[in-house]
């Protein structure tokens, strides 16, 4: 059962990391275009 929890956490962390990466990339692009 523990492996199910580990998989869920890994997937959630992966999605969260991807969202943060996309958000930061978008913010950097906006800052770049603004200047």
Half-sphere exposure of residue 14: CA atoms within 13 angstroms, side-chain side:
6
Task: Give 34's pLDDT tier (boundaries 50, 70, 90).
Answer: confident
pTM given for the model: 0.59
Residue range 8-30, pLDDT digits in tens: 999 999 999 999 999 999 999 88
1 pLDDT exceeds 90?
no
DSSP state of 5: H
- CA gap 22, 15 in Å, rounded: 10
Q: What is the DSSP letter of 33?
A: H
């Amino acid at each position: 059962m523990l492996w199910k929890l580990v998989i869920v956490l890994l997937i959630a962390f992966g999605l969260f990391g991807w969202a943060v990466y996309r958000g930061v990339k978008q913010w950097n692009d906006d800052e770049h275009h603004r200047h």
